[in-house]
Amino acid sequence: MERTETGTTDARDAAQAADLLVTVATTLNERLAVTAGELARSQTLLREASNELMTAFRGAADRIVAAQRDEGAGPEKSAEYGLVLDHLYRACQHLQSHDLVNQLIDAQKLRVDKMREKLAQAISLAAPPVVRPDQAEPWIERSRAMLDCIVAGIQQIDQDARAPLGEKHHAGSVDLF
Amino acid sequence: MKTILAVDDSATMREMVTFVLESAGYRVIEAEDGAQGLDRATAQNVDLVITDQNMPNMDGLTLVRSLRELRDYKSVPILLLTTESSDSMKSQGRAAGATGWLVKPFDPATLLEVVQKVLR
């Protein structure tokens, strides 16, 4: 009698632990959905700003390249074109950063999506009813399977992780072999 | 006029490279990935290839290896222009036959300096 009661208590604890895991996975998945939305919004804003800047840059760049080709331009004009070109070169360097940030956001979105996929998979493991709910073992197995799924998601993120920001000091570096 | 092939899957990057090189008097042809770059390079000989590394269809290192197998491209300079900056990637680039490795975002003046140097 005592043994059965202990078994029931163990099963109840294991069931509560499994439920807690579902709650945590669901909450985390909801937070990640918000993050995914914010990343997408940031990317849209960045893209719109980049497009506007690119249009302005393109107009100025085409004009200066055409002006430079005009052989009738005197030395004063050429010097002025050189100054304008310097400004455009600086703009060119920063416009590249827009593009690179966009790529970084793409990578983050992919990582968030992959983690959400794994969390959804973990949550789905809790959907079917437990065959022997009065036993602790099936609940423990369910929790273990869910945790395996979540850990696989984290490992996938680690594998995909790249560190371009951490290596920022390399930006612009040149190695000639 | 020297002709340079610029290979990058980012239209913005291609545009930036093209602008800088054209403003310095070079002729530039563009390709969106390694496979297209290889097509362009075989259709028309170029004096220099500047390629990104991470691209769909064919990456930069594969493009370098493929070009080095062609008789016309045994000694044509090839520069990798990429966000990749690890020593192992650079070693792979060197082993593949690349002439140099530039990390994005590039400084236009530095790019022109390197281009002039390798074309000399």
pLDDT tier, A6 (very low <50, low <70, confident <90, very high otherwise): low
pLDDT value of residue B66: 98
CB pairs under 8 A between A and B: 85
Question: Is the CB of residue A95 less than 8 Å away from at least one CB of chain B?
Answer: yes
Mean pLDDT of B75-100: 95
Query: Is A93 close to B23, i.e. CB distance below 8 A?
Result: no
- CB-nearest partner of A89 from B109, B117, B118: B109
Structure confidence at residue B110 (pLDDT): 95
- Model confidence pLDDT, tens digit, residues B18-72: 999 999 999 999 999 999 999 999 999 999 999 999 999 999 999 999 999 999 9
Kindly report whether the global pTM for this prediction surpasses the value 0.90: no
Share of chain A above pLDDT 70, in %: 89
ipTM comes to: 0.82
CA gap B53, B98 in Å, rounded:
11
**Taking CB atoms and an 8 Å cutoff, what residues of chain B touch A92?**
16, 19-20, 108
Whether residue A173 and residue B103 make contact (CB cut-off 8 A), yes or no, is yes
Nearest to A176 among B16, B86, B100 (CB): B100
Q: Would you say residue A105 has pLDDT above 60?
A: yes
Whether pLDDT at A169 is above 80: no
Q: What average pLDDT does range A143-166 have in this prediction? A: 80
Q: In terms of CA atoms, which chain A residue is nearest residue B106?
A: A172
Contact B23 A175 (CB under 8 A): no
Amino acid at A45: L
For the cut 70, the answer to whether the pLDDT of residue A148 exceeds it is yes
Identify all chain A residues contacting B105, using CB atoms and an 8 Å cutoff.
Answer: 93-94, 96-97, 100, 171-172
Q: Over the stretch A109-140, which tens digit does the pLDDT of each residue have?
A: 999 999 999 999 999 999 888 888 889 999 99
pLDDT at A45 over 90: yes
Determine the distance in angstroms separating the CA of A74 from the nearest CA of chain B, rounded to an integer. 17
